[in-house]
Structure 1
Amino acid sequence: MRQTSDRAALRAALLASAAALAIAAQARAADLPAADTATAPGGDSAAISLDEVVVTAQKRKTNLQDTPISISAMDAEALKARNVQSVEDLGDGSIPSLRVAPFFSRKSALTIGMRGIGALGDANQPARDQAVGVYVNGVYMGRAQGLGSALYDVERIEVLKGPQGTLFGRNTEGGAVSIITKAPTGQFGMNTTLGYGNYNAYKAETHIDLPEIHDVSIKIDALLSKRDGTVTNPTTSGQPDFNSYDKRGVSVEALWRPNDNFSADYAFDSSYDGSTPYYVQLEKKGLYALAPMLKVQPDRAESANVGVPLQVSDGDTWGHRLNLNWKLGDNLELKSISSYRKLQQNQFDNGSEMLSVYSPGGTFARYSVARFWQDQASEELQLVGKTDRIDYVFGAFYFRENVRDNAQTPNSLQWNSTGTAYSYLSLNFDTISLDRASHAKTTSYGAFGQASWTPAVLDDRLHVTAGGRFTTDKKSGTLDIVNGALPSYVNGAGTTITGIIPFDAKWNHFDPMVSVAFDVTPDVNVYGRWSTGYKAGGANSRSLTYRTFDPEKVKMFEVGAKTEFWDNRARVNVAAYTGDITDAQVDFSVTILNQNRGTLETTNAASATTKGVELDFAFKVADGLTLSGGYAYTDLKLSKAYNPFTDTMATIYPLYSPKNAGSLAADYRRPFLGATLKAHLDANWSDGQYTTTTDPTLSDKSFIVNGRLTLADIVMGDNQPALQLSVWSRNLLDESHAFMRNTNVALGTYAIYNEPRTFGIEANVKF
């Protein structure tokens, strides 16, 4: 599967190049000619300074330094330098406060958390939600499924930390991730990239801007990114390996601007996402015996213990978006964001064959074949304006979705009488009964408003902001099948009923926000902010009861400072926060050993406190050399909660929430042989973290280094496109760590490991 010698040589070359480049950058930076400077007033000298960062966290464009919220932003250049192809790639810790964990059975379904909030429950179910909202061009993405799909020509990603309930609404108690793609320019241009990497990875991506015709500008994006697996599935029947991906998609956007006061921006996108699951490996055996042919794997495995039948999990996602913008006056705009989206996911997961109880002649390797369907429609209206001393936004929001799922979970292998060999079972999914099935419908309405007032005192340096949002959520649905049978429940008369369990609930919620900001100097701003948010209530379709649980709520106080100094060559932003979480949604699970299956219950049994510190910084050390990074300290403490399976008060552990995490990056550029040499190196580290609410087992600490070396602006001739050549690597040092680890007394300790080193080359042309 692997060409060891060739890879070793390429790895050594990449590492040596990155190290040499970093040393050269530091040694020669002070003597380099200007590459990306801004001219000082009067034009007498060149001023080396950081670029302004513009964000839309307050539903209008503002300077990052003037926005009283803890925000991290990554532009297109930073995303490319880190070879970020999807939100999943941000899981390396490049934004320390943002924790991204793929669902190991289906990699495109992501669990996202911030400030210790967001990962306590399984958000992959139809009647459950995430605690961190993801938005693409203003459109809320209602499901965890599909969030790992490839990104289209991103302009920037904004990560808003802490509750965003007032302006962003439901399911933003931990924060919000806002993805903004590049709009049509109205001028002809084409940007095409081709790439190849190890594990037979290849990539093709193109972005085409067409000339404006009759006030209409059109942009077309298309991409393909595919890679083989990183863990061998040892079969003789050509089954795919573990941890592969296949991402494809196309987007068409048309911008109509008939005059300066109106624009209509319509977009259609369609994506395919294929992947195979992570391999779950047994690090340490439990009380129960293993089959003689099996072995524990305490380090990152290159091959699975046994070969299993496996099919690529696939998903199709598509949607329409229409953004309208009316300029009603010099300082007043009306905006509309309309969207309809649909997704279908098919999951084929056989990555957990080790999580079975061994018995001679018994069956094992539970093959989870699950299907998931969702469609959503949303509409948001915003009235954005300002007067001499007040900036304001008022709006209304509507969201509706239908979701359903089902799954079959037969065992796919059978041991011989001695456990020294196994055979494949013949599986006919047309005759295998469903293990579970459910559906849910959500309707949500909201109205919000926020105003920022600058009173005529203290030289206009004081800014007071207040706002609120009222939301109504309605959810209904049914649990049709659970653990392979019709469910049963006790009705209001105390009678046990066997049949479909209904679910119908309604909640009202109000999210206020208040902040006070003060401009100490034009370059130093401090603020205090009190904000709220919530995660919607729902029901657990993996439960035997389908019992309703209520929304999880957060109130948080934050203080921060945003500073620029050293002639705008240095930027340091810091925030500290403390918050209270009430009615925390906690999952409790139990394994049914004789059936190799389990069940879950979700309760609002816990409360929690969270506190922490966040730091973001950037320094233009010299002309062409920038150092940047961040740090997050997170301390989340949960109360004990009642475990319905053990009838005891259980200790609850915060999920995917390392106490310390940080990142550091160096970016260097200089003219070189008539072109531009660019080098990027980043290092990201974090403490271990818990990955199950009732399991004290920690994952490993991590230290991931990524790098990219580019020769850009290569002139190919008069009126010819510009050429760019790059080599890149993710996990450059081939560091190995388990990012998920759990312990079961009977089965043992099992884990999922990070990806090995990946690297590749790319060629890009721009017309």
Structure 2
Amino acid sequence: MPYRISDLPRPLIGVLTSSGLAALCGTAIAQATDESALEEVIVTAQKREQSLQDTPISIAVMGQQQLEIMGINSLGDLGEGAIPSFRVQPLGIASSNLVISIRGNSPSDASEVTRDPSVAIYLDGVYIGRSHALGMELADLQRIEVLRGPQGTLFGRNAVGGAVSLVSNKPSGELGIKQTFGAGRFDEFRSVTRIDLPEFAGIRSKIDFIHSERDGWVNNTQPGEADYTAYDKSGGRLSLHWPVSESVTLDYSYDLSDVETVQNYFQFYEDNGGAFSRERERMTRTRAPVTSLDPTSAEQQGHAATVSWTLSEQLEFKSISAYRTLEEENNNNFAGALYFNGLKLFSETDQEQFSQEFQLIGTNDNIEWVAGVFYFDEEVEKDTQNFFTLDMFGTQGLAPMTPITPPTTFDSLQRGDDVPPRFVDADAESTAVYGQVAWSATDEFQITAGLRYTEDERSGTRIEEGRDDFDLETDNTDYSLTFDYQWTEDVSTYAKWSTAYKTGGVNTGSVSLRPYDSEEAETFEIGLKSEFFDRRLRINAAAFTTEYDGMHLDFSDPDIPTIVDTINAEKTVDVDGFELEVTAVPFEGLTVGLSYTYLDGDMPRQPNPLDDGAERRFSLSQTPPHAGALSLDYSFAPASYGLLTAHLDVTSTDQYAYVQHGGFRLDGYTLFNARLSLADIRFGEHAGALKVSLWGRNLTDEEYVVYAFPVGGLPIAVPQAFGDPRTAGIDFTYEF
């Protein structure tokens, strides 16, 4: 029987965070006599290595061991809610393109190349401008840092929702090999290779390679065509670390990824047109043969060079230079779910970006400071063409539900003529200067102030039944102010005020191509960082309120849903919330992790410019009122045959809207995952060690939805896509 949060007397995590659990953990820890303690978590959120507990920021961290235990190999794997306030869902038209939200702020359409994201993604300090291939596998990560709330006075790119920093392991300079082979349901196969090479000519190097593939679990009944939800991903990374001198080091990396994914299959949650019945149970076969259906392919590569120069004991200079390219061929076939004769969206995107950042990091007596200059330049070309592949109602003279071969551009259900192609050429340039100063007024009290000034330019051309040009220039100044007080050695509180902005743009799917202005965010936050019982209980919490002025909203034409316009909200949007993270070692061998997020968003009705100004109901997408995660890790006593560990994690998510105008489809879910590992299996003193792991995901086979949206103004239909069913498998890892 599926477990749903709506079936529980209250949200699961609300029970787990009750005073009873705190008392239980406190009693168990107080009575324990072993010397187990939580490991110190080191982060670089403020551009210098600091303990998580000494960083007055709401931040969630997942280290390498935790990522491996939970089977998190990409940002997409965090979509189940392991970090509750950090939401990830696949974009409806391409599962390799991820829609990322922090604290309820996410882009309406992550595929739009003339729009900036709400959450900034950094790979080893390099800003990644497009989300089109974020579903790639990640190579040898040391940790993931999720900074919640407006960012800008410490990072290169401004972000209203937050920032995600992906930190990779550097080469060690010693020979080491780690190889993982894994297999699972739906013919899943995964191989991860890491080779650390001995230092040569003073240069340390490391090579990583990842390949993963899986068949689709929704069978396309058309022979010879792809199955929905299948994927094939490959990626590699070369890392070099060169200590040029005692004061200068150079890090260089080259990464390449090739991701092929077949979109999620959309079923009818509602069908107000009456052509189909409701499809509310998860389907494993298509309702009709779908042709043509090809994977979406996204290839990206990047070069990054970081120079660190220690000018003195108090001053460090850092330069981060990067060049990245992205090529995507997007193939999507909605098989009738949009009422457009099996609408197939085809697009090609070519993107190039260059970024340069200079940083000065200084320390002087009771002052720590950071100053930076950031430059970002992007060029994007995107060509789009709509095809129609299924004669749903016999309007093409064929039998209903007959594949149209070859696909046609003639749209008999919309305008009665050929749908023209769309060509977009867009350029973006951003320049910013930022700085932050932390002053320790006393040993206990610290004041931190930050400032950022940004100039953005966006220009381009759209050709679609004519030529339209756009040219936008914006600038903005953002601030941050934090007061941090250390009450005891292990307990501190902070109060923070910060602002950020997201530059305006145009929606290339609109008729008029009219521009929209910037979106601005202002957040007030208070937080607690604490540890107890000789660092065997850690409790961190934050409460915040955020106001968004001019939030970007998308409106669709009620008659032609493929026509979309973006405007700035006329009314202020408010989001209030609370975040709690608890980690405890009740007794030796057992670690308990608990995290919970409460979000309360107020989205006033807004007038629809495409429907004669009629007010439309909007929701904050990816904003569940309650969401939480619980993890249990137990290490058994070491034995002669190896070290046995067991892991269980539960993520629980309250109902929420998947898109801003998607209040027609809400649902909640609870997912259970587990892993049992036997490590340190040795075959000789110098032969390395083997680890064998059995794992399962979605153990209760919960039927949960990962994306849904309304079609038309009524709506005519509400399509929905389900998440993966229960999967299980085995991994073998050899390391020496």
Both proteins in one fold, TM over 0.5: yes
Amino acid of the structure 1 residue aligned with 2:357: E
Aligned partners of 1:688 and 1:698 also within 8 Å: no
Partners of 1:742 and 1:513 lie apart in 2 by 36
- Name the SS of the counterpart of 1:89 in structure 2: helix
Is 1:281–1:352's contact at 8 Å kept on the other side of the alignment? no
Superposition pairs for residues 273-312 of structure 1, below 5 Å? 273-286=259-272, 288-290=273-275, 294-309=276-291, 310-312=293-295
Question: Which range moves more in the overlay, 434-443 or 209-218?
Answer: 434-443
| Structure-2 separation of matches of 1:642 and 1:356 | 25
One-letter identity of the residue aligned with 2:319? S
Alignment correspondent of 1:683:
650
Quote the offset at 1:123 in angstroms. Answer: 2.7
Q: 1: CA distance between counterparts of 2:404 and 2:472?
A: 45
Equivalent residue for 1:693, pick from 660, 669, 672: 660
Aligned residues of 2:42 and 2:49 also touching (Cα < 8 A) = yes
1:255 paired residue number: 241
CA shift, 1:165, in A, is 1.9
Q: Are the aligned partners of 1:390 and 1:453 in contact in 2 as well (CA < 8 Å)?
A: yes
Q: Does 1:660 align with 2:646?
A: no
CA distance in 1 between partners of 2:79 and 2:204 (Å): 35
8 A contact 2:526–2:544 mirrored in 1: yes
1:348 matches 2:331: yes
Aligned mate of 2:483, from 516, 537, 554: 516
2:723 corresponds to which of 754, 757, 760: 754
Shift of the alpha carbon at 1:708? 1.0
3-state SS, counterpart of residue 562 of structure 2: strand
**Mapping for residues 569-580 of structure 1, pairs under 5 Å:** 569-580=536-547
Residue number in structure 1 paired with 2:568 = 604
- Which of 602, 615, 619 lines up with 1:649 in the alignment? 615
Q: Separation in 2 of the partners of 1:421 and 1:648?
A: 35
CA contact (8 A) 2:351 2:381 kept: yes
> Which residue, 706, 716, 719 being the options, matches 2:673?
706
Query: How far does residue 755 in structure 1 lie from its aligned partner after superposition?
Result: 1.0
Would you identify which runs of 4 or more consecutive aligned residues in structure 1 move more than 6 Å? none
Q: What residue is the counterpart of 1:14 in the other structure?
A: none
Q: CA deviation at 1:421?
A: 5.1
What SS is found at the alignment partner of 2:496?
strand
Secondary structure of residue in 2 paired with 1:80:
helix
**CA apart distance, 1:741:** 2.9
Question: What is the letter of the counterpart of residue 134 of structure 1?
Answer: I
TM-score, normalising length from structure 2? 0.91
Q: Is the 8 A contact 1:734 1:757 kept in 2?
A: yes
User: How far off its partner does 1:407 sit?
Assistant: 1.4
Amino acid at match of 2:566: T
**Structure-1 separation of matches of 2:428 and 2:420:** 24
Say which SS state the counterpart of residue 567 (structure 1) adopts.
coil
Q: 1:632 aligns with which of 589, 597, 603?
A: 597
CA contact (8 A) 2:217 2:229 kept: yes
Partners of 1:138 and 1:281 in 2: how far apart? 40
Q: How far apart are residue 696 of structure 1 and its match?
A: 2.4
Structure 2 distance, partners of 1:46, 1:694, is 54
Which of 553, 569, 585 aligns to 2:520? It is 553
The alpha-carbon deviation at position 46 of structure 1 amounts to: 5.6
Deviation track 1:633-676 (CA, whole Å, cap 9, x = no partner) reads 01111233221022223232111111110000001112134311
Distance 1:46 1:690, change over 3 A: closer
CA distance in 2, matches of 1:258, 1:448: 29
Question: Which residue matches 1:217?
Answer: 204
Matches within 5 A, 1:430-445: 434-445=420-431
In structure 1, distance between residues paired with 2:420 and 2:211: 34
CA distance in 2, matches of 1:188, 1:611: 50
- Worse-superposed segment, 343-352 or 128-137: 343-352
- One-letter amino acid of the structure 2 residue matched with residue 254 of structure 1: L
SS state at 1:688 partner: strand
CA distance in 1, matches of 2:48, 2:722: 41
Given that 1:113 and 1:131 are in contact with CA atoms closer than 8 Å, whether structure 2 keeps it comes out as: yes
Distance 1:68 1:440 in 2: 38
Q: Which amino acid aligns with 2:617?
A: T
Does structure 1 conserve the Cα–Cα contact (< 8 Å) formed by 2:60 and 2:146? yes
Shift of 1:678: 1.3
1:195 aligned partner:
182
Corresponding letter in the other structure for 1:324: V
1:393 aligned to which of 347, 370, 385 = 370
Structure-2 separation of matches of 1:180 and 1:444: 24
Displacement of 1:747 in angstroms is 2.8
Match of 1:521, SS?
A: coil
Q: Percent identity?
A: 35
2:269–2:720 contact (8 Å) kept in structure 1: yes
Compared with structure 1, are the counterparts of its residues 428 and 517 closer, same or farther at alpha carbon in structure 2 (3 Å cutoff)? same
Which among 150, 154, 159 is matched to residue 141 of structure 2?
Answer: 154
Q: Structure 2, unaligned stretches of length 5 or more?
A: 1-24, 26-31, 410-417
**Contact 2:391–2:398 (CA<8 Å) still a contact in 1?**
no
Q: Look up the equivalent residue of 1:115 and give its one-letter code.
A: R
Cα distance in structure 1, aligned partners of 2:652 and 2:624: 10
Shift of 1:295: 4.1
Give the CA deviation at 1:706: 1.2
Deviations 1:8-50 (A, max 9, x none): xxxxxxxxxxxxxxxxxxxxxx9xxxxxxxxx9xxxx962100
How far does residue 214 in structure 1 lie from its aligned partner after superposition?
Answer: 1.6
Secondary structure at the counterpart of residue 373 of structure 2: strand
Return the alpha-carbon distance in structure 1 between the equivalents of residues 448 and 715 of structure 2. Answer: 55
Counterpart selection for 2:449 from 466, 469, 473: 466
Matched with 1:37 is: none
3-state SS, counterpart of residue 210 of structure 1: strand
In 2: Cα distance, 1:97 partner to 1:194 partner: 32
For the aligned residue pairs, the C-alpha RMSD in angstroms reads 1.9
Q: Structure 1 428/645 Cα, relative in aligned 2: closer, same or farther at 3 Å?
A: closer
SS at match of 2:65: helix
Q: Encode CA deviations 1:542-573: one digit per residue, 9 max, x unaligned.
A: 11111111111101010001000011100000
Q: Equivalent residue of 1:409, what SS?
A: strand
CA contact (8 A) 2:549 2:569 kept: no
- Please give the alpha-carbon distance, in whole angstroms, between the structure 2 residues aligned to 1:748 and 1:612: 32
Alpha-carbon distance between aligned partners in 2 of 1:170 and 1:746, rounded to the nearest angstrom: 38
Q: Which amino acid aligns with 1:600?
A: V
Q: Which residue of 155, 168, 172 maps to 2:155? A: 168
Deviations 1:63-118 (A, max 9, x none): 00000000000011111111111101101000001011111221111111111112
Letter in 2 for 1:601: D
TM-score computed with the length of structure 1 as normaliser: 0.88
Contact 1:169 1:469 (8 Å CA) reproduced: no
* Structure 1 unaligned residues grouped into runs of 5+: 1-29, 31-39, 358-363, 487-498
Letter aligned with residue 217 of structure 1:
R
Give secondary structure in 1 for the equivalent of 2:672: strand
2:218 corresponds to: 231
Letter of the 2:485 partner, please give it.
F
Q: Is the 8 A contact 1:81 1:680 kept in 2?
A: yes
- Aligned partner of 2:580 in structure 1 is 615
Aligned residue in 1 for 2:41: 53
Matched, 1:541 2:541: no
